Amino acid sequence: MQSLTIPRPDDWHLHLRDGTMLQTTVPASATVFHRAIVMPNLVPPVTTVNAALEYRARIMEEVPEGVSFNPLMALYLTAETTPGQVAEAAANDHIIGFKLYPSGATTNSAAGVKSVDALGPVLAAMQEHGVPLLVHGEVTDSDIDIFDRERVFIERHLIPITERFPELKLVLEHITTADAVEFVKNANNNVAATMTPQHLLMNRNDLLVGGIRPHNYCLPILKRRTHQQALQQAALSGSPKFFLGTDSAPHVQASKETACGCAGCYSAPAAIELYAEFFSRHNGLDKLENFASGYGADFYQLPRNTETIELVQQQWTVADTVDTATGPMVPYWAGSTLDWKLKR
- Binding-site entries for substrate: 15-17, 41, 136, 219, 251, 263
Binding positions: 13, 15-17, 41, 99, 136, 174, 219, 247, 251, 263
- Return the beta strands (E) in the chain as ranges: 3-7, 11-14, 35-38, 70-76, 95-100, 133-135, 170-172, 191-195, 242-244, 308-317, 337-343
Mention every residue, 6+ apart, whose C-beta is less than 8 A from residue 339. Answer: 276, 277, 280, 313, 314, 315
Residue 144 CB neighbour total at 10 angstroms: 15
DSSP 230: H
- Does an H or E element contain 24, and which? helix 22-30
Enter the DSSP assignment of 9. Answer: P
Q: Which residues are catalytic?
A: 247
C-alpha dist (Å) from residue 156 to 12, 134, 139, 170: 25, 17, 9, 16
For residues 87 and 52, is the Cβ–Cβ distance under 8 A?
Answer: no
Do 127 and 163 meet the contact criterion of CB atoms below 8 Å apart? no
Point out the annotated binding site for Zn(2+). Answer: 13, 15, 99, 136, 174, 247
d(CA 219, CA 295): 24
Are residues 332 and 198 in contact, defined by beta-carbon separation less than 8 angstroms? yes
Q: Phi first, then psi: what are they for 338, rounded to 5°?
A: -120, 150
